[in-house]
Each structure stands twice: as C-alpha cells, then as structure tokens.
Chains A and B, each alone.
Chain A
Amino acid sequence: MRVFADMWAYLSDGANWSGSDGIAALLGQQLLLTVTALLMAMVVGLPLALWLGHLGRGGFLAINISNVGRAIPTFALLGLLVVAPWPGTDGLGPYGRAGLATLIALTLFALPPIITNAYVAMREVPADVREAARGMGMTGAQRFWRVELPLGLPLVVSGLRLALVQVWATATIAALVAGPGLGQVITDGFFRSNYGKGIAGALVVAVVALVLELLAALVQRAADPTRRGAGSGPRNDALSVNPATVDEPAESVG
C-alpha cells in the first residue's frame, strides 16, 4: 500500500528525526511529560491512598475515584484547561506550548489507577498477617513499613505501571490542542493529508508504548517479594488475570 511506502520514507529520512521539531525531540518531550506527570501523581496520590488503606478508611472514595475518572474524556479536560484563562496555552520550559495544561490533565488522569491500586494493595494484606504483626507488638508505623507496604508493593507497582502506560498513551492527545509531544507528528500528518507522516508518528508512539509496558512488567515482577524468595514457582504471570486485584486496565487513552 502506498501510505506504508510513504510512512517508511518518512521514518527512514534522518532529517525527520533531528531538529527541534523532529521525531527524536518530540519523543523526548513526550517522555519528559509522561515521567513528570507520573511523579506528580505519585507524590499526590500514593501517600494519601497508602495512608487511607492502612487506616482502612475512605474505601468508597478510593474505589470510586477511578470509575469517575473513566467517564471524563481527557481530551475534553485538556480542551477546557487550554481555553480557560489559566493555565491556558502558555509555554512551560521544555514542555512547550500548553505544557502546564497538559501536565495538569495528565496528572489528574494518572491519579485514579494509582490511588485505587495503592488502597486495595493495603487492604489485601491478609488479616491474620496484620494481627500477627500487632500481636508481636509492632506499632502502627512499623506495621505499615515492615509488613503492609512490602506485601502490598506488587499491587502498588501494578497501579503505577497502568498509570505509566496510560499517561504515555494520553500524552499523545496533547497535540489535538497544539500541545507538546509526538502527537504533533500524527495530527500534522492528518491535517495536511500527509497520511504517511501521520502513520509514521502513530507507529513510533505505539512501539514506545509497548516497550514501556514491557519494561514496567519487568519492574513489577522484580517488586514481587514472593517471586524473589526461593523461586517458589510462578505465582502470577505479568499478563494473566489476577481476580483478587484490580489489575484490569482502567481507561487507557482518553
């Protein structure tokens, strides 16, 4: 097909990769956006969710926040932020035009999976383990740091993994409001009827998404204490369904 030839021509031309609006620069920009938004969501969401999970309170909120989050189209949220007087379309250092609006939208988008998984991770620690720790005379802080957090870590990391991949995917949408990232290649290609270019951008975004997913799966595997110990056989595969958890993908790309 003709568009695939165009796509290949676009991708194999080194000139399209270099420069301030080349693929490499936009890729770096989008990775920077993704990592920043994920870190911001972690700073805001993790302490809150872990603490609520430790206390066993606010479960309704923690669980339902992701259902509400799913219904809000990120595109609409981003549009509202861009058209509003603040943060508007102002540039933000290396993040480029509409950088702040994009960061806010992505951070809000990353919060639900992080909060829900961290909360559930704390609650899923078996009650007898909790009681044993209490019986040994551990204080609340000791139980949290030495018992609940290590046991809940795989699920916490699984939430971060979901958030990472979803934020990467969603960051592409920033280009629909003329914002930063690889989406620019896609939208530019489409709006100028240069479909080869649009598809080239899509391919790069999709490949990086799969790479991020695989890397995150490896990290998740490493975070599982039962897997590290004594090789007790496969507990759950990275991609298998674990019915006890909320490992199902929430809204991906919105």
Chain B
Amino acid sequence: MTLLAVADDPSCYSRLVNDWICADYVADRRSEIVDATVQHLGITVVSVLVGLVIAFPLALLARRVPRLESAILAVTTGIYTVPSLALFPLLVPFTGLTATTVVIGLALYALTILVRSLLEGLRAVPDEVRESATGLGYGRGSLLMKVELPLAVPVVMAGLRVATVSTVALTTVGSLVAYGGLGNLIKDGVLTNFRAELFTASVLCVVLAVVLDVVLVLVQRVLTPWTRGARA
C-alpha cells in the first residue's frame, strides 16, 4: 500500500499498469522514439535506392540479352526465397554487425521486385510508340531516356511502392544485428514485456509505411502529368 501511495500518479507505462496506449511514455521517451524512427526511415530509403540503382542496369541487360533474362530473374527470385532472419546472419561475416548488413540484405530483397517491375514497365511500352520514335530519329539512348522510361513510370512506381512498403516492414528484423530502427524498440518491448513501447513502435512502423506510400503516389502524379489529363 505504501508503495502505491508513494507513486502518487503512476504513469500508464509503469510495471503495475502496463497499458498498451500511453501518451506519457511517448512524451518521456521522445528522443529514443525519434532516433529509432529516423534510423528506420534511413535504412528503408537507402535500401530501396540501392536496390533501384542495381536493378536498373540488370533490367536493361536482361532486356538487351534475352538469354540472360531468365538467369537474372531466377537469381533475384532465389535471393527473395531466403528468409531475412537467415540472410542477415549470412551477410555478417562480410559486413559485421553494422547497418550495412541490413541495408545490403534489404536492397537484395527490393531488387527482386524492382527488376521485375522495370522489365514489365519497359515491355508495356507499345511497339508503335517505339517505332514512331525511331522514325523521328531517336537513337537507342534517347529512345530509352525520353520515351520508354517515362512511359514505364506507372508500372515501375507500382513496383517501387510494393518494395518500399515491404522494406519498411522488413527493416524491423534488422534488430537481430541491432540495426532494426523501430524493430529495436519492438524487440525491447517483447523482452521486457513492455506493452506501451511495443505498441507505439508497431503503430509507427505501419504509419511510416503508409506515409512513404503516399509520398510515392504523389511523386508518380508529378512524374506522369499526362495520366491526369486523360482521366478527366
């Protein structure tokens, strides 16, 4: 009784209460939560960008050399099959317990989705368009940059959205090597049976995925102004 009396106004995150939702927890541990969110965001964005940078030449190569296409798709799909909790340890001998391990692992997963969507996007460009552009005197490079890639944007962006949203979710597993962003809080919450921390981090994860998805939709609208005109 005396103990309870001393704790005049027990915070909702005290051991005695252990509430799921707790504004006091968020206020008191604000810097910790912000740090984890920033780390999560950073790992996600860098991973997807690295994936995109690698996927682009691979997709072009697969398109130029049809014989390589099935090999490239098979290898990237094969990587995707490897569970993340297994992939990170397999990378550790090369990269150590660093954020690099997580970024490489996640970039490899994003690669699978991005190579496929880049290939599909480029394939979806109608032949007439390609021929007209060639007839107008476009060379191979300018055809790709000025005609094919812009027309492939909707399909590529669809893949990018999938890759981004699933990377946000996957980043949590990086907590195995201590670089999981919000996943670190989730792990800590599970280990210490701390509901407010677990719940807050989980919700932030989903919110982060939704926010990034909305950002990508807006980017797509800016990149493809013609689709808006056609719909109206």
User: A-side interface residues toward B, CB under 8 Å?
Assistant: 1, 3-4, 67, 70-77, 79-80, 82-83, 165, 168-170, 172-173, 175-177, 183, 186-187, 189-190, 195, 198-199, 201-203, 205-206, 209-210, 213, 237, 239-241, 243, 248-254
A190 touches B165 (CB 8 A): no
Chain B residues within an 8 Å CB radius of A254 = 84, 166, 169-170, 172-173
Do B85 and A71 touch (CB < 8 A)? Answer: no
B90 CB-CB contact with A under 8 Å: yes
Add 16 more A-B contacts to A71-B209, A76-B201, A173-B85 (CB < 8 A). A3-B92, A4-B93, A73-B168, A73-B170, A75-B172, A76-B206, A79-B198, A79-B202, A165-B81, A187-B176, A201-B89, A205-B86, A241-B116, A243-B120, A252-B81, A253-B173
B120 vs chain A, min Cβ distance (A): 6
Question: Which of B113, B162, B186, B194 gathers the greatest number of chain A CB atoms within 10 Å?
Answer: B186
Q: Contact check: which of A83, A175, A199, A250 meets B193 at CB < 8 Å?
A: A83
Chain B interface, >50% SS class: helix
B84 and A239 form a contact (CB under 8 A) = no
Contact A253-B85, Cβ < 8 Å, known A74-B169, A76-B201, A248-B116: yes
Q: Is B2 an interface residue (CB 8 A)?
A: no
| Given known A-B contacts A76-B186, A79-B189, A83-B195, A201 and B86 have beta carbons under 8 A apart | yes
Quote the shortest CB–CB distance from A149 to chain B (angstroms).
Answer: 27
Q: Would you mind naming 27 contact pairs between A and B with Cβ atoms under 8 Å apart?
A: A4-B93, A70-B169, A71-B206, A73-B170, A73-B202, A75-B186, A77-B202, A79-B198, A80-B202, A83-B190, A168-B83, A172-B85, A176-B175, A176-B187, A187-B85, A195-B89, A199-B90, A201-B86, A202-B89, A206-B86, A237-B70, A239-B74, A249-B113, A251-B165, A252-B81, A252-B84, A253-B173
Interface residues of chain B, those whose CB is within 8 Å of chain A, are 70, 73-74, 77-78, 80-90, 92-93, 109, 112-113, 116-117, 119-120, 123-124, 159, 162, 165-166, 168-170, 172-173, 175-177, 183, 186-187, 189-190, 193-195, 198-199, 201-202, 205-206, 209-210, 213
Contact residue among B81, B92, B166 (Cβ-Cβ distance under 8 Å from A169): B81
A210 with B81: in contact, given A172-B86, A187-B176, A239-B70 (CB under 8 Å)?
yes
Contact B205 A203 (CB under 8 A): no
Task: Assess whether A169 is in contact with B198, with CB atoms less than 8 Å apart.
Answer: no
- A253 to chain B: closest CB distance in Å? 4
Report yes or no: B165 in contact with A209, Cβ–Cβ below 8 A.
Answer: no
- Structural contact, B113 and A210, CB atoms closer than 8 A: no
Which 8 residue pairs of A and B lie closest in terms of their CB atoms, listed nearest first? A169-B83, A76-B202, A202-B86, A202-B89, A71-B209, A73-B169, A251-B166, A205-B86
Contact between A199 and B84, CB atoms less than 8 A apart: no
Cβ of A72: which chain B residues have Cβ within 8 Å of it?
Answer: 169, 206
A202 in contact with B70 given A67-B165, A253-B173 (CB within 8 Å): no
